[in-house]
Structures are given as structure tokens and as C-alpha cells.
């Protein structure tokens, strides 16, 4: 029915699609500003409960605003500098939206709020509220109304803090988004022209990709009205929108060309393309969307944002491929064909490669497997941790501020662990015990300050007491322990017996709870992805072996991506080339996001590949010969789509934010490895060894597939090109049928 619609009224379909594009473009124009600046926090966790207690009972919290005070001459103890520091503390505390402020110049302030040589000192503030309000409204106001007026020729002031860092990160990601648009669109257009060798199909495919990207951004704008959507989701929507739109466009146009070459009229070719290739596109879209939708299993807005983006991208890309593109093809007709059609696939490189692999499946498959395992081996050394200012290049002022703090301060006071107690009984003994934990520099409490179990500050501060008798303690970690094992330190603090019930919070606890929440859900998410993709591939192939094989091979391809992430980013192997600072840790959210995207795209290519192999097998019954013929028909499409998608991702390797560089490099590599080593070597090797078992399923499942499964017909060429030219496959097939795999 859809095919008849687009062939009977193609101009009206294109006009309606154009109107929809305009509506989505209007929505997309304000999408970036409407998206949120999420924090790393796990709702319902102990750290969130501790934060709420601190705010409600004590009127304070973790310092999310930090100002570095630097005299241009002398020290922070000089009267002129001290006057500026005290005024800054006072005015910052009185600013609208600021809940609490303290500094080196506050009464009973610890000496560690100044650098060891007293040439720098810190003013800290707690600003409650969601990330959007703090970063977009309050921080600019604080900078303009408080910090800038107090800066003088004698004293320099630099704004920092976790919210300022991630405000700059979001700002940089938006700039990278605009730059990516400028680079990706002409780059994809050029690559499409090289693939098609005709300008008309290149343009309509690019338009399909742009429609998917713009429409997905418009949808995200609408979703943001009801829930938080991260600004980083826009970057993913852009590259995946263009990538999948082009991906599906290539598949549809390749199939349309085949139908025309087979002798069909234009109308009939469009209808056949929509009827057969359309189902494969839908199955592929469901697979990709499902792989990203499982991110909703994580109770974190940051990760859920990419689920919304993924589903929106797939929906719009499928619409563009099955409605907009067929209508354009109906009008273009034979102008999509090359002036000289390429030789049949069975004479091409991919056919010869697959045939060679299937003649020696153990040797070829073993070599491919060894390469993947060697490249993926560094992933075994992954060490998950929290992101910090080193996401940014050293040229950013806020990054330079933290380089100074790391080099010249004993610790980062803003990253103290906060322990909230129901009442102040035995707080001194408890503070003393906390201070003896390895990696704790000092514990501040109502009973005084403690270092290595000894009270060093006799008088405690009243800010640690609540009117209802409650108290809280500030556990200040050493810089080394904070950098190398903050989650372990949080675990030790929580494990220490307390005289009264306590809640442990603060930025290190926020990050530890976030990491634990992510890791805890990994088995569920992995299981959901495997189950969903298994069902989709079964409905397409009627086999229970093919989906299992696909899952294993996809996981192997992703090991390469994780290996490069650990070696290149965690350990710094790519730092010199890409210009970032390695921290020795990997932020857990980005690899999970990349796993879901990579798994979905791998299954996308698997759907295209298996659809052609299965169609050939159903038509010929040739269990061995159908594999290289199916690969020969699909590999040019898959390799072209992979090249374009990899180029789109690779643009982000030049980003000014390390996590976007990780996304760009890792996804580009995963796509290329999947389209070459996996599809060109391991797939034919495994299918040669499995023989007819590739298509096996229990009788009840075979009957189920016969009723609801997908089958794709392969159009015959008007020549003998579709007949098997690899005569030796007959003997190979006979060996497989007898239970012997090819040698």
C-alpha cells in the first residue's frame, strides 16, 4: 500500500514531507537551548539523601562554585588581598540563589584552603538548584555581579567549580555540534557522489539523511518539554541521523537499481523496492532502536537522553527511506542508474574474498579472531572513574585553574566527603576514627579538626551543628587518593562503624553511587539487547543459530572499540595525536552508550547481510554458495554505508571535549572493523563451518516464522549473473550436508 501511495502521488508526498521538514527545522532551531545540563547523580541513592539532609537541616552542601584568588604580587595574607577575599566571601554568600559560602578568610578556616606557598586561596560556595538553573542563570550572574567587580590590578579572580566545568563542557560540545554540521554535510555529499557516480541519487540520499537528523532534533525539543534531555544527545542525533538516513537510503537505492536492471518499469520497481527492501529497513530500524532504547533501564537522565535520541533518529530515518526517498525515485526513474553498470557481484572483490575464506574457514577465521582479540586485549585493564576538568583542553581558563589547584594545593576542599549524622553523640571519637582511614587528609567536625586520629583543631565550627541536635562531618581526602580511588575511599567511610545512623554524601559519593548504579544495571541492559536482537533476527531468518552467531560476532567487534578506548584514552596512547590529557580512568557512561550504538549498528549491517544470504539460500538451496553471493550483493552497500558513517563519527575526533573524542574515534573504528573483518572474514568462516545448521530452528519456531517472519526476494538480473558461478561449491555443500565442514 505504501508503495502504491508514493508511486501514485509522488509530488504530493514530497510536498508533505517538505512541509514536515520545515516544522521540524523550526523546532530543531531551538533544540540545543532547550536541552539540559545533567549532573552525575543517582536518584534514590545514599549520596542524594545526604545532600537533601544537608540542605534541609544545615543550609549547606557540596561546594559547586569555586573562586581561585591569586594576588599578582605577595601572598594571600597581605591586607589588600585579604580584604578582597573577605569581601568576595561575604558578597558571594549574599548573592541571590547562593545557599552558603566560606573561604580561606572565614573564621576557623583550614589552612588547606590556601596553596602551600600562600600565593593562591579559595572561596567556596554552595548553590542549590538543578543544573540548568545553576549553570545557565546563576553562574553568569555571579561572574558579572560579584567576581568581575572585585577583580583588581592587584588580585586576579577565576571562577570554577564542578558546575562551571560542565557548563564550559556543554558550551564546547555545542560549538563542536555546529562545526560538525559544517564538515559532515559536504563530506557525506562527496562520499555519496563517489559511491553513486551520479549527482541525483547522491543529493536525494543526503536529503534523506538531513531530514532524519533535523526531524530527530525537533523531536528531542518536544521530549525536553516533559523530561530532561542531555545536550550531548544533540551530537548523537546529528551524526546518527545523517548516518542512518544515508544508510537506509543506500539500501533502498541499491535495491531500486537492481529492480530496474532486472527489467521492471519505474513504478513497479519502486513498489517492489518498498515491499521487499522496506521490510528489511524496518527490521533493521527496530534492531537499532531497541539497542538504544535499553538505555532507559538506567535510572539516569544522562543515559536516558540517548535512548530518546536513538528512537527518534531511527523513526525519522525509516520514514525518510520508505516515504520521502521512494517518492523521489519515482520521479528520477532511470536517472539513478550509472551510465555504465558495474560487473555482477560474483566477479567482484567481496565475492572472491568470501569464497577464499570459505575454502579455508578455520585458518581465515582464526586469523581474524586473533586480530580482534589482540586489539581488544587492553580493555581488560579498564578502570572506571569520574570525569573532571581534564575533559577540556588546557587552553580553557577553568582547566588552567584546576591545573593550578592540583599542582599547588594539598587537596581539593570542594571534593570533601560529607557524613551526616542524626545527632552529635561521640562525634569526636567518630571523627578521629575517620581521620585514620588511608587517604584521608583531615576530618572537620563540631568537635574540632582531626588528622591521623589526633585532634589538631581544638575548637569546632558551629556550621557543623543543626538546631535539632544533628551534626555533619567533612572528610577531606588527599589529592592522590581522590585521583586514584575515590570510590574505594567512599566505601571505606561507609564501612566504618558509626555511633549513630549516618548518610555519606559529597561529590566523591555522588560519582561512586552513579558508577555503582551503572554497573549494577549492566547485566540487565546486556540481556535485553541480546534478547531483542535475537527475536528480530529470528523473525528475519527463521533460524536460532544465526542470531546467536551474530551476537557473538558483534561482541567481538566491540572488543576492539573498548580496547582502543582503554589504550588510547585511559592510558593516553592517542593523547599526543588528539591533544587531550589522560587521567588513567574511564568514565563509565560513554562506553555503555558506545556499546549500545555499536551493537545496534552492527546488527543493522547484519540484517542487510543476512537478508541477502537467506534470500539466495531460499531461492537456490545452496547452503555454501549462497553466502558469497549474498555477501557480494550486500557488501558494497555495507562498506559504503560504513565508510560514510565512520567519517561522520570521526569528525568528533577533533572535538575540544574528550568524551566526544572517545565517541568519534571509538565508533568510527567499531563501524569499520564490523564492515570489514567481521562481515568479510568471520561471517563467511563461521557460516562455512556451520553449514545447514545456519538456518536450523525447532519445528514449532519454524512454523511460527512461516506465519510472521520476513523473507526478501532477490530480483533476477536479465542475464546469467544470478546463477552460481562458483562450481566448486557443490562439492563443499555435499561435504557440509554429510556433516563435514570445509577444510
- Per-position DSSP letters for 419-465, written without gaps between them: EEESS-TTHHHHHHHHHTSTTEEEEEETTEEEETTEEEESSPPGGGB
Residue 473 in contact with residue 416, Cβ under 8 Å?
A: no
Among 289, 311, 309, 288, residue whose Cα is nearest residue 604: 288
Q: How far is it, in rounded angstroms, from Cα 700 to Cα 707? A: 11
Q: Do 540 and 710 meet the contact criterion of CB atoms below 8 Å apart?
A: yes
Grid cell, residue 282, equals 524496518
Quick one: pLDDT at residue 725?
37
Q: Check: CB of residue 300 under 8 Å from CB of residue 511.
A: no
* DSSP secondary structure code for residue 100 in this structure: E
Q: Give residue-wise pLDDT tens across range 231-277.
A: 888 888 888 899 899 989 998 998 898 889 888 899 999 998 888 88
CATH 1.20.1640.10 location in the chain:
1-34+167-341, 355-385+523-711
Residue 158: phi and psi, rounded to 5, are -125, 125
User: How many residues in the chain?
Assistant: 743
- Joined grid coordinates for residue 125: 560556595
User: Which residue shows C-alpha cell 550486500?
Assistant: 634
Q: What burial class does residue 225 get, using C-beta atoms within 10 Å of its C-beta: 0-12 exposed, 13-18 middle, 19+ buried?
A: exposed
pLDDT at 607: 83
pLDDT in tens, 301-360: 888 898 999 999 999 999 999 999 999 999 998 888 876 655 555 567 889 999 999 999
Return residue ranges of the chain for CATH 3.30.70.1320: 65-160
Q: In the structure grid, which three cell numbers stand for residue 338, read together?
A: 550509472
Nearest Cα neighbor of 555 from 682, 367, 722 is: 682
Candidates 457, 201, 232; CA nearest to 339 is 201
In this structure, what C-alpha cell is assigned to residue 30?
A: 531551538
Q: Determine how many CB atoms are found less than 10 A away from the CB of residue 495.
A: 9
CA atoms within 13 A on the CB side of 633: 26
Q: Which DSSP letter does residue 154 get?
A: S
Q: How far apart are the first and last CA of the chain?
A: 48
Taking only the tens place, the pLDDT of each residue in 568-610 is 999 999 999 999 999 888 888 888 888 888 888 888 888 888 8
Q: Whole-model pTM?
A: 0.83
Plot region of 565 (φ>0 → left; ψ -120 to 50 → alpha; else → beta): alpha
Rounded to a whole number of angstroms, the CA Rg of the chain reads 30
Tell how strand 417-421 and strand 471-477 pair up.
Answer: antiparallel
Residues 6 or more apart whose Cβ sits within 8 Å of residue 263: 718
Query: Could you give the CA distance from residue 117 to residue 119 in angstroms, rounded to a whole number?
Result: 6
What is the sign of the dihedral through the CA atoms of 405, 409, 414 and 419? positive
Can you tell me whether residue 120 is helix, strand or coil? coil
The dihedral built from the CA positions of residue 174, 175, 179 and 182, taken in this order, carries a sign that is positive
Q: Which three cell numbers stand for residue 369?
A: 579472531
CATH dotted code for 1-34+167-341: 1.20.1640.10
Spell out the CATH class of 355-385+523-711.
Answer: mainly alpha
Q: Between β-strands 100-103 and 502-505, what pairing exists: parallel, antiparallel or unpaired?
A: unpaired
Max Cα–Cα distance, the chain, nearest Å? 96
Whether 344 and 631 have beta carbons less than 8 Å apart is answered as no
- Residue 23: CB atoms within 10 Å: 12
Q: Take residue 384 and report the three cell numbers written for it.
A: 572506571
Q: How far apart are CA 509 and CA 501, in angstroms?
A: 17
Q: Which DSSP helix (H) or strand (E) runs through 505?
A: strand 502-505
CATH number of 65-160: 3.30.70.1320
Rounded to 5 degrees, φ, ψ at 44 are: 85, 0
- What is the C-alpha separation between 390 and 572, in angstroms, rounded? 12
The pair phi, psi for residue 607, each rounded to 5°, is -60, -45
Helix (H, G, I), strand (E, B) or coil at 42: coil
Question: Is the separation of the CB atoms in 177 and 32 below 8 Å?
Answer: yes
Which of the residues in the chain have pLDDT under 70? 1, 3, 37-39, 339-347, 458-460, 709-743
Residue 649 Cα distances to 234, 452, 479, angstroms:
13, 50, 35
- Cα atoms found within 13 Å of the Cα of residue 716, Cβ hemisphere only: 7
Please identify which residue in the block is written with the cell numbers 543544573.
131
Amino acid at each position: 500500500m505504501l508503495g502504491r501511495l508514493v508511486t501514485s502521488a509522488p509530488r504530493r508526498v514530497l510536498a508533505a514531507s517538505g512541509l514536515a521538514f520545515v516544522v521540524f527545522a523550526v523546532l530543531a532551531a531551538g533544540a540545543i537551548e532547550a536541552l539540559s545540563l545533567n549532573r552525575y547523580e543517582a536518584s534514590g541513592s545514599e549520596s542524594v539523601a545526604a545532600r537533601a539532609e544537608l540542605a534541609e537541616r544545615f543550609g549547606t552542601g557540596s561546594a559547586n562554585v569555586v573562586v581561585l584568588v591569586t594576588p599578582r604580587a605577595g601572598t594571600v595574607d597581605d591586607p589588600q588581598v585579604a580584604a578582597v577575599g573577605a569581601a568576595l566571601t561575604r558578597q558571594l554568600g549574599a548573592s541571590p540563589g547562593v545557599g552558603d559560602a566560606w573561604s580561606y578568610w572565614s573564621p576557623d578556616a583550614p589552612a588547606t584552603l590556601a596553596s602551600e606557598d600562600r600565593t593562591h586561596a579559595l572561596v567556596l560556595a554552595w548553590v542549590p538548584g538543578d543544573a540548568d538553573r545553576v549553570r545557565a542563570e546563576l553562574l553568569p550572574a555571579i561572574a558579572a555581579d560579584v567576581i568581575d567587580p572585585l577583580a583588581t590590578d592587584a588580585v586576579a579572580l577565576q571562577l570554577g567549580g564542578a558546575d562551571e566545568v560542565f557548563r564550559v563542557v556543554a558550551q564546547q560540545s555545542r560549538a563542536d555540534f555546529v562545526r560538525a554540521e559544517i564538515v559532515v554535510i559536504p563530506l557525506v555529499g562527496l562520499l555519496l557522489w563517489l559511491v553513486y557516480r551520479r549527482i541525483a541519487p547522491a543529493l536525494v540520499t543526503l536529503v534523506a539523511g538531513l531530514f532524519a537528523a533535523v526531524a530527530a532534533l525537533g523531536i528531542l525539543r518536544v521530549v525536553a518539554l516533559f523530561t530532561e534531555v542531555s545536550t550531548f544527545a544533540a551530537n548523537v542525533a546529528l551524526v546518527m541521523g545523517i548516518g542512518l538516513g544515508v544508510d537506509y537510503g543506500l539500501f533502498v537505492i541499491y535495491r531500486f537499481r537492481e529492480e530496474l536492471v532486472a527489467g521492471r518499469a519505474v513504478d513497479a520497481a519502486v513498489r517492489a523496492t518498498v515491499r521487499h527492501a522496506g521490510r528489511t529497513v524496518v527490521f533493521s530500524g527496530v534492531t537499532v532502536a531497541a539497542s538504544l532504547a535499553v538505555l532507559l533501564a538506567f535510572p539516569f537522565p544522562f543515559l536516558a537522553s540517548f535512548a530518546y535520541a536513538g528512537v527518534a533518529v531511527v523513526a525519522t530515518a525509516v520514514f525518510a527511506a520508505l516515504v520521502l526517498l521512494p517518492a523521489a525515485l519515482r520521479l528520477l526513474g532511470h536517472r539513478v542508474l550509472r551510465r555504465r553498470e558495474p560487473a555482477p557481484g560474483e566477479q567482484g572483490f567481496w565475492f572472491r574474498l568470501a569464497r577464499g575464506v570459505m575454502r579455508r574457514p578455520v585458518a581465515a577465521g582464526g586469523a581474524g579472531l586473533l586480530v580482534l582479540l589482540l586489539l581488544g586485549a587492553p580493555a581488560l585493564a579498564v578502570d572506571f572513574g569520574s570525569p573532571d576538568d581534564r575533559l577540556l583542553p588546557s587552553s580553557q581558563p577553568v582547566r588552567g585553574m584546576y591545573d593550578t589547584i592540583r599542582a599547588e594545593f594539598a587537596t581539593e576542599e570542594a571534593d570533601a566527603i560529607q557524613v551526616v549524622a542524626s545527632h552529635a553523640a561521640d562525634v569526636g571519637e567518630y571523627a578521629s576514627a575517620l581521620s585514620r582511614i588511608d587517604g584521608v587528609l583531615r576530618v572537620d567536625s563540631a568537635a574540632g579538626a582531626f588528622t591521623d586520629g589526633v585532634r589538631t583543631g581544638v575548637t569546632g565550627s558551629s556550621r557543623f551543628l543543626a538546631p535539632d541536635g544533628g551534626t555533619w562531618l567533612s572528610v577531606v581526602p588527599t589529592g592522590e587518593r581522590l585521583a586514584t580511588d575515590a570510590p574505594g575511599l567512599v566505601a571505606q567511610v561507609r564501612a566504618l562503624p558509626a555511633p549513630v545512623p549516618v548518610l555519606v554524601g559529597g561529590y566523591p559519593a555522588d560519582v561512586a553511587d552513579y558508577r555503582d548504579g551503572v554497573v549494577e544495571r549492566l547485566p540487565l541492559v546486556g540481556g535485553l539487547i541480546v534478547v531483542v536482537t535475537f527475536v528480530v533476527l529470528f523473525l528475519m531468518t527463521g533460524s536460532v543459530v544465526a542470531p546467536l552467531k551474530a551476537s557473538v560476532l558483534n561482541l567481538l567487534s566491540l572488543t576492539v572499540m573498548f580496547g582502543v578506548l582503554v589504550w588510547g584514552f585511559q592510558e593516553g596512547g592517542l593523547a599526543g595525536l588528539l591533544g587531550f590529557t589522560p587521567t588513567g580512568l574511564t568514565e563509565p557512561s560513554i562506553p555503555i552508550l558506545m556499546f549500545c550504538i555499536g551493537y545496534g549498528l552492527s546488527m543493522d549491517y547484519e540484517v542487510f547481510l543476512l537478508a541477502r544470504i537467506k534470500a539466495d539460500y531460499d531461492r537456490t538451496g545452496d547452503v555454501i554458495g549462497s553466502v558469497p553471493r549474498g555477501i557480494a550483493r550486500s557488501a558494497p552497500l555495507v562498506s559504503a554505508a560504513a565508510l560514510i558513517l565512520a567519517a561522520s563519527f570521526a569528525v568528533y575526533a577533533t572535538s575540544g571535549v574528550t568524551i566526544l573524542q572517545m565517541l568519534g574515534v571509538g565508533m568510527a573504528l567499531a563501524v569499520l572493523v564490523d564492515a570489514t573483518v567481521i562481515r568479510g572474514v568471520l561471517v563467511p568462516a563461521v557460516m562455512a563451518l556451520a553449514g545447514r545448521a545456519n538456518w536450523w530452528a525447532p519445528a514449532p519456531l519454524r512454523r511460527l516464522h512461516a506465519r510472521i517472519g520476513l523473507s526478501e526476494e532477490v530480483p533476477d538480473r536479465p542475464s546469467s549473473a544470478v546463477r552460481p558461478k562458483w562450481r566448486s561449491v557443490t562439492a563443499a555443500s555435499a561435504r557440509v550436508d554429510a556433516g563435514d565442514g570445509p577444510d
